[in-house]
Chain A
Amino acid sequence: MTAVIIVPPSLDDKGFEHVLEQLASQPDDAKIIVDARHCTFGTPYGLTAMLTLGQTRAQKATFLPPIDGNVSTYWSRAGFFRYAEELFDIQGSVPRVRSTDEGDKLLGITPIAAAADVHLVVERIAEQARHILTTRLKLEPRAQMGFTMALSETVQNIVDHAGHAGWVMAQAYQYRQRLAGRWVAEIVVCDPGMGFRRSLEMGNRRPITDRWGDGLALETALIQGVSRFPDAGRGQGLKGTRGYIGRRNGMLTIRSGTARIGLIPTWDDSVPLQENLPYFPGAQLRVIIPGELAGGTP
């Protein structure tokens, strides 16, 4: 029997959890239809996580794109359909757009499989993003550099740990739901790979405890800076990124397996650790960096 998975009107991090709740009872090889026809909004997290979902299906899922032309045009511009066509059986037409209109995108959806992809992403951000980070977010050069470093390190997580190709997208926008509409820059990195728990287990870096699971694996990696690689310098990338995000009053969340951990600033009300979520393989990482307030306060 074919299951229909309804994509909520907002395909953001919370909306994607609704997708996963519906998916939880379906085996990987079940035939599913992902119905996004009534979706009116998609964030970088929602779009890259949806592509990741496509990667996890043993049987190609059917995808019904948004009816609203503006929405599907935005998804096309972000690069969603270019990659979705390989992962889903798309029913209905999708807008064809030339990829020249970058708008406030810092980086359209980009596949990541190898170290060379990290170089390309960093070079592209360095070329494209400077203007937006300077004029909209008012970030001074050192903060811009930190943003690029955070991007580089989070994307490397796929290459070093996932064991599977993934996706990155970055965008600047006015955060109207929070921060009184201030400009923010967001990086999202999603993969359907082994996830944090298995990565630590493979490196024999699992702490001896009865509490072991996805939540503790995320705590071990993010808070304690433990990497699956034993040499002393490993884990520096995530630790450095964490420091940068803290200094910029930004937010970092990582979902892996059945848990999500977050470095949550005062302007957001998410809980720092959520467990017993519907299982989703790999790691889905989201960074939000707020722009400067007048007077230079992040």
Chain B
Amino acid sequence: MRFIPTLILAYLALGLQSGLAQHIQIRDASPNLVLPVVIFIALYASRDSALLGTYLIGLMQDMLSMVPLGVNPLMYAAITAAVRMTQPAIHREHWLTHILLGLAGGVLQGVILSIVGLRMPPRPPVEMLLVSTLYTAALCPILLRPLLASRRIFGFQPERKMLGRV
């Protein structure tokens, strides 16, 4: 995985999340525009790069939020692990896969935010988490399409090739 293009992608996603997400709310729930990027990296990057890359993206997102530091890295680590586990059984380029991964990611996000909210209030309401999950899942195929089309830029290498090198 190439570092600079991935960094630019993360920068753009976080910029959009900060500048735009709360202005396009549905029922007071904003989408997570960073999640599709996390799914994209988890789907195509090698295991180590994906785990580390999404952790760092989460850390950067924490810097722009009021949630306790560490929440987003945990969320994205869990989502990346989940995507990696399901990877052999899924069609990575199908839009339905993207919706399902968006839903699964949203559910994981909701669970982690609720657990953290118990320890460090306030806890987000279930309705808001649900709407945000559905909203993000609906946006996933739309946001992932241009990313898939340009995935060569990121220089992802197949897992087997990586293992062969080791």
| A and B pair up | no
Chain A residues at the B interface, C-beta cutoff of 8 Å = none
By a beta-carbon cutoff of 8 Å, the part of chain B in contact with chain A is none
